[in-house]
Amino acid sequence: MSLGKKDNRILGDRYQLIELIGSGAMGQVYRGEDQVLGGVTVAVKFLSQTLLNEKMRHRFEREATISALLGEKSIHIIRVRDYGIDENEVPYYVMEFLEGQSLSDIIKFQPMALKRFLYITRQICVGMDAAHSGIMLHGELCQVVHRDIKPSNVSVMQDPTLGELVKILDFGIAKLVQANATQTHSFMGTLAYCSPEQMEGKELDNRSDIYSLGVMMYEMLTLEMPILPETSSFGAWYKAHHDFQPRPFESHLQIPSELKNIILKCMAKSRENRPQSVAEILKVIEALEKTTNRLNAGNQTNYSGQETVIANNDSPNVRPDDKTEIADGAINQSSSQPQVSKETQLTWPKNKPIQKIVFPRIVNTETETYPSLWVMLDKQDILNRIVSIRYNQFLFLNSPHPMILWITVIYNPTYGPRWLPCYLDLKTESARQVVISLSELGSYKILFFALEEPQKCKHSMISTIASNQCNIMKEWVKNSTSFTDKGEANVSRKRLKDEFERLKPRILEKLAQSYK
């Protein structure tokens, strides 16, 4: 079957197949559209008709189950949405459609810069850690060993609304580590990335994936394989992984010693000598990332989550040279004088304390309804920032508790930034209504109240939201009811806050550059 072949079938009265986009020994993958969700693009994977036996059906169904459960745990693992059997009794499963670039293509011609390497590797590690920590299957916690970690099984998506997001693909040969289960001993994997014990067909655990990760990290930084066999045969690779030591890093690469050490440790012949968990690797990666960000404040690549920035403001007081276009949005400058508007008639709610706080509210008047961000600051602080630029982002986590961090920052070079973060718990109706209002209107007002004179609004600004981000936010709200709520809102809040702290230097650099 050639790629690009059309197939107009509709599966399960829902998924319209469009064209073939991938084919291999295990099956075919089609691009399709989810008719129930208004034509959202999906990927549909079929088991090859040459493999339609009971054993392969079971394995295919298990692949879908593992991916579905892991996709709920981590945004860094491809998400499976549905499973079914077509009219020809061929099983298929439906997954998110990734319009990304394979890591193998990214590193095809040049090694990865340190900063981007740390950023991408951190996300890979987070996804691997989610798999290794296990999924609940039939009441039992089972670790998942991927068994085929390599660049072609990592996708990096360049999306202005999601940032550069990394996902691990293809759990087709993943292994469930179950207690008291009868284990088979056979080789599966890709020779260049296999651990010594994997070459032997031994029982595997997470440390085998760590070996593969070490090989891949070395390749990402050097474009070279750390271990090379004498020939491409299985026997030659077996000998290489067992007897050949990884080649040392070239001194001119300027790779931090702690990074070299952890990568080489990952490739230890004995699994007892490797890092015992991905968390050990993450600790090194995150420490180096913080150091790199301090040295290069603001220049890091998009973070591993979902984000947006405000669209261009059409205010007549903004000259074309007053706004700076950036990779994933725009920065807007407010007018140079306070605006006299009906917002000055709004009063500070009686149920809110008179102190420096930020909270969302939908404002209803006789003529309009709009979402707003209410802010209380010192009077002088408000006056200092009347001439300023503003920038916003929306960060989202669906697990362990669906929550959005709505970030607004007001900035000018004399007085610096004023950060205005606000958390929206999508399990509450009030927060859902705010997000719906934001996505439908595509803008919001920032209302400033002074501590010294809280009776009336002192100043207001408008921020607009890009139309594609509005569509994404609608999906967040629509899907939030199906997200598993583990009652860990504080965990999601902390994770979002951590991502916020990572983003701050980058945001500040962009804001500072807008005045140059």
**Token output for 221:** 């930084």
What's the pLDDT at 341?
A: 52
- Strands of 97-228 (E only): list them: 101-102, 135-137, 140-145, 154-159, 163-168, 175-177
What's the pLDDT at 159?
A: 55
2, HSE (Cβ side, Cα atoms, 13 Å): 2
Which sequence spans correspond to the domains of the chain? 10-96, 101-295, 320-513
Which of 44-53, 244-253, 280-289 is predicted with the least confidence, judged by mean pLDDT? 44-53
**Token output for 399:** 């697990």
CATH number of the domain at 101-295, out of 1.10.510.10, 1.20.1250.20, 1.25.40.10, 3.30.300.20? 1.10.510.10
Instruction: Give tens-digit pLDDT for 140-177.
Output: 777 888 888 999 999 998 755 445 789 998 876 666 55
CB neighbours (10 Å) of residue 501? 11
Is the confidence at residue 332, as pLDDT, over 60? no
Reply yes or no on whether 148 is catalytic: yes
Q: Judge whether 10-96 and 101-295 match in fold.
A: no
| 3-state SS assignment for residue 258 | helix
The mean pLDDT value for 117-146 works out to: 86
Q: Which of 34, 129, 148, 328 is catalytic?
A: 148
Is the confidence at residue 422, as pLDDT, over 90? yes
Instruction: Give tens-digit pLDDT for 71-102.
Output: 888 888 888 888 888 888 889 989 888 888 89
Q: In whole angstroms, what is the distance from residue 188 CA to residue 186 CA? A: 7
Instruction: Pinpoint the alpha helices (H) of 9-165.
Output: 54-73, 103-106, 114-133
Answer whether 161's CB lies under 8 Å from 306's CB. yes
Q: Homologous superfamily of 10-96 in CATH? A: Phosphorylase Kinase; domain 1 (3.30.200.20)
What's the pLDDT at 217?
A: 96
| 3-state SS assignment for residue 416 | strand
